[in-house]
Structure formats: C-alpha cells, structure tokens
Structure 1
C-alpha cells in the first residue's frame, strides 16, 4: 500500500517511508535546493538530512519528519514546482546565457535580489546578483544558484521567508545585467549592512566598496 500512496496524501513521512509521496517530497526538496540525492521514493539518510535543513531554514521543529506543517511549508516554498519536468511551465525551459542558467535559476536569483536589495539603488541590486554569481566561480561555495542561496545561514531573506516574494522588473533586469557580465561589486563574494551587522567576522573581511546601504567585501 505504501508504494501506491498519492503525493502528499496526508501521511507522515519519516525514515523508512516509501512511495509516491516520498518521491514528491524529494522532488520538491530538490527543486528548492535542499536535496541532492536520487529521486527514488525511499526516505533514507539524505532525505532525512534535507528535511532537517529545510525545517531549520523555515523555522519549523527540526526532527527530520515530514509531517503536515513541513509538507505545507514545502508546498508553499516550491509552488512553481512542475512534477512533469519539461512541460507546462516557464521554469523548466532553458534560457540561453553565457553561463547556461535555466529559467528556474534566473527566477530564483531575481527573487534573492528582490528580497535582499529592493529599495537599494539599481547598481546595488546588480551588485547583489554579482555576488551570488561570483560565489559560483569560487571553490568556497556551492556551484549552483539554489545551492548558494539556500546554503545554511547565507541569506537573511531565506531565513525570514522573503525569498518567496514575487520579484519586480528591476530585480529581473538586474539579474540580466549581472549575467551579461556587469559586476558593480568589484568581484565581491560577501556584502553586509553596516547598520545591522553584528558579526565580527564579516567586519574583518577586506572591503571593496559601499553601494547604497551595503558594503561589499571578500
């Protein structure tokens, strides 16, 4: 019976669970950048760790069990998820660019720019996109847009949920300019707001420049 469970049919999913609902759990976790394993419908160690990381980032009880609250939060976070892969949604269509990013990559990047830098001057929005792209080229960070944005504690907008706000045209344009090679950050891999930053570590980083409210550094 477990193998034929409908996706997210109200079952509590935990280690040892199997079925289509586990496949959906894995697929949605992968869509938002938390799961890197095989989509096999088997709730194993990788799935458990991905659920815990998702729960941590979204302020849920961290127990590695995908109960009702975790499933509902994941469905909201992955609302653009398309279970049929290549059909039916713009997020699955490839976008031609110098680095070969998909439409889903570019949308997530625009969401990050909007969440982190709306209200900043346009050049500052492009600089934030540039920082994320610079991290892809660094061995110190994950090598995908989703991996960077959802890296634990990397972006406040992920922790407070603002990453899921609809990006505006300014954010989307900033992403296009950054993809096309404009990097106002000067090659930075970090930025912070000096008014709110309390980390001694971030203040110790070599500073490159200040744009709007953000200091960009390495």
Structure 2
C-alpha cells in the first residue's frame, strides 16, 4: 500500500485547519457583535452586556437593552476589578473578558423581555426562580399600589410594598430592591433607625459630586460597602429593610447628612477614624 503523498498531506492539513476555524467562529459569533458598546447604545448587545454583568454581580438594574448610567458604572466596576482600562466602553478586550467570566442564556433573557416579565439573571440562582410574571393592571393601565397604614394604631396594619408607584423621586423597583439588599446586608442587626441611617447614607452619596449618581453606582463602588465585598448583599432582605429604604427616600435622615459610617469595634482603616464624626446610631458611627 502506497503512503500518502506530500501534496495529499498538505491538502488534508488545509482541510483540518478550515474546519477548526469554522468551529471556532461558530462558538464565538453569538457573543456580542463587533461594535464598541458605550453609554447611549441600545439593542441586543446592551441586553447581553447587562445580563452578563448581572450574572456575576456587577449590575442590579433592569435588563432592558438601554445603556444608561447604571450599566455604565457596573461596567466600570467590572473593568476595575478585572484589571482592564476603566473607561465604561465595552471594546473587544472588555467583551472577551466578560464572556470568559460570565454566562449568558440568550434564549431565556430575550424570552422574558418579550413577555414583559420582571426578571433577574444572577449567577448561582436557578433561572426559574428569577422570573415574576407581568403584573396585572387596573382599568387605568397602572399597577395597583397597596394602601399603607396612615398612622400607627389606626385600623388593621397592611404591609407596605416597595414599588415605583408609591415612592417619590422616580426611584425604580430595582433601586428599592437593591437598597433593601444593601441595608439588610450592612445593618440587619441594627435598630430600625440604624437601618434607615444606612439607607440615608446611600442617598446622601448620590447627591454628592464625589460619588456616582445612581443607586447601583454608589453601592457597587469598589470597597464602598462590606456587604458587597463579602457577598451578604445577596441575602434576601426582610420587610423591615424595605420599609427603612422607603422612609429614607421619603426624607428621614437620622444621620445629619452623613456620607460615611463605620463600626468602631471592627474598623481597621485609620482613614475612616479621621472623618468628622456626627453621631453614633446603634453600633455605627456616622461621619461627614
């Protein structure tokens, strides 16, 4: 039996190479298009960007395909943590790093958006547990907001629900939920006023030019909150944490406009001790 000629070997090598390239292209074509994704962009690339960032805990907003400030700060925090240039632009290097670090079930995400469902896409949580069917609306087209008890001791108590319909200032349901997660993770052992105080600090930072101007931007700013660093922000908050957030949004600031706080029993940073102190609430000292 004659051996394979050099020409045949070369042709066989070319065939294998072309198949390899074809398979590689097929596995990567579904991860973003070739465009640089930046603030103001809309569409499928932004949906994938938001979903992947949420999958690994950087984005807590609504996956809606609109690149706003929440997506911008989430991407910057991702870039910083993964050693990339921090510019809020999802170029090739950033997209490649994100694809390697996250999971994206495009069919699930696009299906939920098409159905109008309220959903999330966090990692390590079964996706079937992250979907809430679209809320029914009344005749006027707006979701019915539950009544809140007007005064303590008057009539049967109804549990207030944090919704965009009954909170001022245009805060979204995602904003309320994220703040409740932060309050619960940071201060669930504190008295109620101490939980309101933590929520107030978050809001005070949004109003300051020294901090990001969104809820997610403030909470996920690197090294800003212990609960983010140790993962306790993903604990399920109780109703008390949600009520504390609503009270803070409605104007209750027991801290005296503090932008920082710390536990003197556990603080290791000398810097925080140098901040002008306002008052102590529970175990936390609140500072300017």
When normalised by structure 1's length, the TM-score is 0.71
Any runs of at least 4 consecutive aligned residues in structure 1 with deviations exceeding 3 A, and if so which? 1-4, 15-18, 20-25, 46-56, 80-83, 90-96
Counterpart for residue 243 of structure 2: 173
Offset, 1:85? 8.0
Task: Give the distance between the partners of 1:210 and 1:110, measured in 2 at CA.
Answer: 21
Separation in 1, partners of 2:66, 2:80: 18
Structure 2 vs 1, CA of residues 49 and 209 (structure 1 numbering), >3 Å: closer, same or farther? closer
Q: Assess if the C-alpha contact under 8 Å between 2:74 and 2:217 holds in 1.
A: no
Distance 2:220 2:257 in 1: 21
- The CA RMSD measured in Å over matched residues stands at 3.9
Pick from 76, 80, 84 the counterpart of residue 113 of structure 2: 84
- Counterpart mapping for 1:16-55 below 5 A: 23-28=46-51, 29=53, 32=59, 51-53=78-80, 55=82
Deviation of 1:206 (Å): 0.5
**Larger Rg, first or second structure (1 or 2):** 2
Structure 2: how far apart are the matches of 1:23 and 1:104?
18
Shift of 1:184: 0.8
Q: CA deviation at 1:88?
A: 1.3
- What are structure 1's unaligned runs of at least 5 residues? 8-12, 41-45, 57-62
* Cα distance in 2 between the residues matched to 1:109 and 1:82: 27
In structure 2, the CA distance between the partners of 1:149 and 1:86, relative to structure 1 (3 Å rule), is farther
Equivalent pair of 2:60/2:178 in contact (CA under 8 Å): no
Q: Distance in 2 between matches of 1:32 and 1:202?
A: 27
> Secondary structure of 1:191's partner?
strand
For 2:207 and 2:27, the matched residues in 1 are separated by 43
Distance in 1 separating the partners of 2:66 and 2:28? 14
Deviation at 1:39, TM superposition (A): 6.2
| SS of equivalent residue, structure 1 residue 129 | helix
Moved more, 47-56 or 202-211: 47-56
Distance 1:128 1:66, change over 3 A: same
Query: Is there any run of 5+ residues in structure 2 with no aligned partner, and where?
Result: 1-25, 38-42, 68-72, 84-92, 121-133, 135-162
1: distance between equivalents of 2:77 and 2:205?
22
Change (3 A) 1:90 1:187: farther
Matches within 5 A, 1:127-146: 127-146=197-216
3-state SS of 1:184 partner: coil
TM superposition shift of 1:90: 7.7
Contact 1:26-1:47 within 8 A present in 2 as well: no
Calculate the TM-score normalised by the size of structure 2: 0.55
Number of residues of Structure 1 aligned to a counterpart in Structure 2: 191
